[in-house]
């Protein structure tokens, strides 16, 4: 089969930066050492560039999960140039295609079905989809954002200034330009590259599928640590407009915390959040499916399956009742007497729901 043209510039760029980061930087560290200011700058720039991708390119521009003040958008544009992952317009356009055609080997630009290497970096090494390279029709909204377009038009010099100029300036202030360039420039660039590439590769093969199995995306708490919270990728692929990826408070999702922080400072607004009921319902549906598959092999499958279906329906009903009551209580805010009543009712229904949920868990554990 005829293979697409190799993009030599990308091949050379990725090879040289990677080789430099694994050989030159450690060698320089052994011989000259790195001081505290260099390490500190390294960590600050790791988060600044990485979270401009996750908070800016991804959750703000690709998915419109919230609105951000121009100051924040300018910071994201600069951080995105530092991350060297192409312009926000280009990145978001690719990413929207990824969501729309996830796992489709012809359309998804980094389809996980084409293997780990391809989804991690291989997709950037050959000209796989030349026909839509500069086609930004699926990102017309972003073309109205002057900050996005300013970054897009000036991407190359911005990226070079942020990746070479900034470390050199900081190194000059600190008294050693080369060490700063190697650690906060080169090492940081390669590390953030591969950590964010993991979201397309590892987060589509390693982890659990609590919300959907209609695509390869996985939830993986460990991966969240490397990806600024984007390891909860199974959740993300079903509820892509939610500003969170890790939805529980204990989920490590620094991007979510940053967005919340911006909102507290009035630098972000309209944070979108999927109703809890929808999330619970998706989870229950997956549990039903798993249990059905396991039970189907048992000798008394028919009877168990109908029992299972019955339990599921009951639980769904409790879930709906509880959230309906909760919503009514919220809507009655201000009308004191009514509000109190409704809150009591919601609390009771919540208890019923949790009771039924326990029953469901015991039942599915027993039969499967
Ligand atoms: Zn994905
Ligand atoms: Zn996404």
Q: Whose structure tokens read 């599928």?
A: 209
* Ligand with smallest separation from the Cα of 203: 1
pLDDT, position 310: 85
Domain boundary among 227, 253, 269: 269
Closest CA to 54 of 250, 203, 161, 177: 203
* Ligand with smallest separation from the Cα of 234: 1
> Model-level pTM?
0.91
**Distance in Å, CA 147 to ligand 1 centroid:** 26
Q: How far is CA 137 from the centre of its chain?
A: 23
Give counts: helices (H), strands (E), the chain.
18, 2
Answer whether residue 3 is part of any domain: no
pLDDT, position 79: 98
Indicate if 142 and 263 belong to the same structural domain: yes
Report which DSSP code applies to 68.
E
**Domain interval for residue 358:** 276-367
Indicate if 53 and 85 belong to the same structural domain: yes
pLDDT, position 1: 64
Give the integer Cα–Cα distance in Å for 275 and 120: 32
Domain boundary among 221, 248, 269: 269
Indicate if 163 and 285 belong to the same structural domain: no
Q: Whose structure tokens read 């090879």?
A: 15
pLDDT, position 132: 83
Indicate if 218 and 327 belong to the same structural domain: no
3-state SS, the chain, equals CCCCCECHHHHHHHHHHHHHHHHHHHHHHHHHCCCHHHHHHHHHHHHHHHHHHHHHHHHHHHCCCCEECHHHHHHHHHHHHHHCCCCHHHHHHHHHHHHHCCCCCCCCCCCHHHCHHHHHCHHHCECCCHHHCCCCHHHHHHHCCHHHHHHHHCHHHHHHHHHHHHHHHHHHHHCCHHHHHHHHHHHHHHHHHHHHHHHHCHHHCCCECCCCCCCCCCECHHHHHHCCCCCEHHHHHHCCCCCCCCCCCCCCCHHHHHHHHHHHCCCEECCCCCCHHHHHHHHHHHHHHHHHHHHCCCCCHHHHHHHHHHHHHHHHHHHHHHHHHHHHHHHCCCCHHHHHHHHHHHHHHHHHHHHHHHHHHHHHHHHC
Q: How many domains does the chain have?
A: 2
Report which DSSP code applies to 232.
B
3 state DSSP class of 265: coil
**What is the torsional sign of CA 118, 122, 123, 127?**
negative
**Distance in Å, CA 323 to ligand 2 centroid:** 28
**Distance in Å, CA 217 to ligand 1 centroid:** 6
Q: Are 124 and 55 in contact (CB under 8 A)?
A: no
pLDDT, position 265: 98
pLDDT, position 364: 83
**Distance in Å, CA 239 to ligand 2 centroid:** 9
pLDDT, position 87: 97
Answer whether residue 158 is part of any domain: yes
**Distance in Å, CA 231 to ligand 1 centroid:** 10
Indicate if 139 and 281 belong to the same structural domain: no
**Distance in Å, CA 329 to ligand 2 centroid:** 33
* Ligand with smallest separation from the Cα of 197: 1
| CB atoms closer than 10 angstroms to residue 353 | 20
Q: Are 315 and 280 in contact (CB under 8 A)?
A: no
Indicate if 312 and 245 belong to the same structural domain: no
| CB atoms closer than 10 angstroms to residue 346 | 20
**Distance in Å, CA 248 to ligand 1 centroid:** 20
Indicate if 185 and 236 belong to the same structural domain: yes
Domain boundary among 210, 234, 269: 269
Indicate if 212 and 344 belong to the same structural domain: no
Phi, psi angle pair for 218, to nearest 5°: -125, 155
Low-confidence ranges of the chain (pLDDT < 70): 1, 337
Closest CA to 109 of 245, 191, 11, 204: 204
Report which DSSP code applies to 67.
E
**Distance in Å, CA 224 to ligand 1 centroid:** 13
pLDDT, position 107: 93
Q: What is the CA radius of gyration of the chain?
A: 24
Indicate if 151 and 296 belong to the same structural domain: no
Q: Are 52 and 79 in contact (CB under 8 A)?
A: yes
Answer whether residue 2 is part of any domain: no
**Distance in Å, CA 99 to ligand 2 centroid:** 6
**Distance in Å, CA 204 to ligand 1 centroid:** 6
**Distance in Å, CA 164 to ligand 2 centroid:** 29
């Amino acid at each position: 089969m005829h293979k697409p043209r190799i993009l030599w510039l990308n091949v050379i760029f990725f090879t040289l930066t990677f080789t430099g980061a694994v050989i030159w930087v450690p060698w320089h560290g052994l011989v000259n050492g790195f001081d505290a200011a260099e390490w500190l700058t390294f960590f600050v720039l790791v988060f600044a560039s990485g979270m401009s991708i996750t908070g800016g390119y991804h959750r703000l521009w690709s998915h419109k999960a919230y609105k951000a003040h121009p100051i924040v958008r300018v910071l994201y544009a600069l951080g995105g140039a530092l991350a060297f992952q192409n312009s926000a317009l280009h990145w978001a356009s690719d990413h929207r295609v990824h969501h729309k055609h996830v796992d489709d080997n012809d359309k998804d630009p980094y389809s996980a079905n084409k293997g780990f290497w391809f989804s991690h970096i291989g997709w950037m090494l050959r000209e796989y989809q030349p026909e839509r390279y500069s086609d930004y029709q699926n990102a017309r909204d972003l073309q109205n954002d002057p900050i996005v377009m300013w970054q897009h038009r000036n991407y190359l010099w911005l990226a070079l200034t942020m990746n070479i100029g900034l470390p050199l300036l900081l190194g000059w202030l600190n008294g050693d330009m080369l060490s700063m360039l190697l650690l906060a420039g080169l090492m940081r660039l390669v590390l953030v590259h591969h950590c964010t590439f993991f979201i397309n590769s590892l987060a589509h093969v390693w982890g659990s599928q609590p919300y959907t199995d209609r695509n390869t995306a996985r939830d993986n708490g460990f991966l969240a640590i490397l990806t600024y919270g984007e390891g909860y990728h199974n959740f993300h692929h079903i509820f892509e407009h939610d500003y969170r990826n890790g939805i529980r408070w204990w989920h490590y999702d620094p991007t979510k915390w940053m967005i919340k922080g911006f909102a507290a400072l009035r630098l972000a607004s309209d944070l979108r959040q999927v109703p809890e009921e929808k999330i619970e319902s998706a989870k229950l549906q997956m549990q039903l499916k798993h249990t059905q598959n396991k039970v189907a092999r048992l000798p008394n499958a028919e009877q168990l399956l109908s029992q299972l279906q019955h339990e599921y329906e009951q639980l769904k009903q409790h879930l709906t009742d509880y959230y309906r009551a909760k919503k009514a209580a919220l809507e009655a805010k201000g009308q004191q007497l009514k509000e109190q009543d409704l809150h009591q009712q919601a609390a009771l229904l919540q208890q019923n729901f949790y009771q039924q949920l326990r029953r469901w868990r015991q039942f599915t554990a027993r039969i499967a």
